[in-house]
Structure 1
């Protein structure tokens, strides 16, 4: 009886290995272990490793986490961590899907901002873009590059071009 059980187990393992080899090489990727909000740090504590067939891994997928990584869009539990939903200060800024990057050099002093900070943009006393995401700061902190929704990007760019855009920290 034990021999039959062992034989069945060995056949099952062999079939599993054959099926796995059909998918080719595998690579370790990072998945969100919990929901990660915009602006929150992405760490080993809120992600976990997952083995995926290489053929299903997009070029934007991160296979390791840099020391500092911030969510640039809502990442739900089980989502793959990639350059499409995160930003690190030591890599080129990536604009989240559905958003546009706008450079803003305000005429008034602005608070120190870091990539991932959520801001509102105001012009003429009205919020023209809510929940923008800071992608990077300009040299000497004279301005920032902010991702805003593509619908309001032209309005924000116009206000920034004439010096009317102000940045407000959002919560």
Structure 2
């Protein structure tokens, strides 16, 4: 537009508001740049949160897969279906074969029936049969006398030669718990000895045997 045709009053007005228009343009440009920076920051925050969420999901999924794979490995075990007393011969009527996750099974658990299996200690219903609470015996086993209780003892030290039918004293921490106890059975390939003691002494002997304090001395 030719300034010659602009009225003087309008020309003066344009000169007056020109700085205002410039400031408006500058302010608008600054606001636009700030908005762009805020958008970039927002996108960066969103990207960071998305990365953290993805990493958390990946780690959780990996752990779940590892746990699932571990639980997926199973093994057969023998579970007592009846209460079993020390010295009892374990027959197929006293246990059942079940499948458990391998990670939940003790390394001493039995996985198949063995001939001549004998309880070394009391076994409750639902308890696993293991190499520590059972053993095999090919030797003869005496019948439990009336009024006596059978107790499985694992002596903490080596024993002198012993045979079924021998009489022994049971000692724990230097205290004689029982005298003249009868050896009912010797568990093969172990140091476990099944002895018969009177009913009134059975609790003390069983308690000492349970914590491994009981030992045997062959009496004459």
- Please tell me the TM-score bracket, short chain as reference: 0.5 to 0.7
Which consecutive aligned stretches of 4+ in structure 1 deviate over 2 angstroms post-superposition? 19-22, 96-102, 110-113, 119-123, 126-137, 144-153
Return the alpha-carbon distance in structure 1 between the equivalents of residues 133 and 192 of structure 2: 16
Q: Which residue of 2 aligns with 1:24?
A: 72
Q: Which residue of 1 aligns with 2:33?
A: none
1:79 aligned to which of 112, 127, 134: 127
Q: Quick one: structure 1 residues 131 and 30, their matched pair in 2 at CA, closer, same or farther if it must change by over 3 Å?
A: farther
Deviation track 1:39-90 (CA, whole Å, cap 9, x = no partner) reads 0011211101111001111221001011110000000000000101000148
* Greater share of helix: 2
Q: Quick one: structure 1 residues 99 and 122, their matched pair in 2 at CA, closer, same or farther if it must change by over 3 Å?
A: closer
CA offset at residue 121 of structure 1?
Answer: 2.7
Number of equivalenced pairs: 120
The structure having more radius of gyration, on CA atoms, is: 2
Q: Quick one: structure 1 residues 135 and 68, their matched pair in 2 at CA, closer, same or farther if it must change by over 3 Å?
A: closer
* Greater share of strand: 1
Q: Quick one: structure 1 residues 37 and 131, their matched pair in 2 at CA, closer, same or farther if it must change by over 3 Å?
A: farther
Q: Which residue of 2 aligns with 1:103?
A: 159
Return the alpha-carbon distance in structure 2 between the equivalents of residues 68 and 79 of structure 1: 19
CA offset at residue 31 of structure 1?
Answer: 0.4
Instruction: Give unmatched runs, 5+ long, in structure 2.
Output: 1-66, 139-151, 172-176, 195-207
1:52 aligned to which of 100, 104, 109: 100
Q: Secondary structure at the match of 1:55?
A: helix
Higher relative contact order (CA closer than 8 Å, sequence separation 6+): 1
Instruction: Give unmatched runs, 5+ long, in structure 1.
Output: 1-18, 91-95, 114-118, 138-143
1:146 aligned to which of 188, 193, 197: 193
* 8 Å contact kept, 2:155–2:192: no
* 8 Å contact kept, 2:78–2:128: yes
Alignment RMSD (CA, Å): 4.1
Q: Scaled by the length of structure 2, what TM-score is found? A: 0.42
* 8 Å contact kept, 1:61–1:80: yes
Kindly indicate whether residue 219 of structure 2 is the aligned counterpart of residue 166 of structure 1.
yes
Q: Scaled by the length of structure 1, what TM-score is found? A: 0.53
